[in-house]
Structure 1
Amino acid sequence: MSVSVRIPTILRTYTGGDSEVAAEGDTLAGVLDDLDRNYSGIKGRVLDEKGELRRFVNVYVGNDDVRFLDGLETPTPAGTQISVIPAVAGG
């Protein structure tokens, strides 16, 4: 199923500068696999060495943070917008 993925500025070097790209997958994990096939290396910036979402990267399917849904198994229906957002820290 085709979804739209919003890419943060810091990861746009992987997408040739594109701020939004299309990807396929029934779940977030499938979408990330498809992204990595088309934009080699991007998945490694979103997932850690254990294959889990990096601590300082937030991913939303629609308006919902996947950490409060099913994580990487969160369904991604056709037409859904996925947003990858690096966390901002400071004080």
Structure 2
Amino acid sequence: MTEKWRCAHGFGLSEPCRECELDSARETVARWGERVDSARKVIAEAAGQSVMLKVAGKPFRCQCGCNVLHRLSGDRDLYACNACELQYEGQG
């Protein structure tokens, strides 16, 4: 019964199989290729723009409770909440 639930390399579902992981990675690259690289670039750029602001020396929180915002591209003093996308204008 348990042999029905094993990978081609003999590992059970709860056991990690490096060969299956490698096969999956190769399939992803073959199927999505360039899109994966461009998506990773977008994520890396967005992560670099995230900030935690302080107002009057205290950590700032959005109305939704999130305290991490990101700077909107091209506008130095405009920020958006990472959770709800509400925008805030900074005074600098």
Per the TM superposition, whether the score is higher than 0.5 is: no
The alignment's TM-score, normalised by the length of structure 2, stands at 0.28
The alignment's TM-score, normalised by the length of structure 1, stands at 0.28
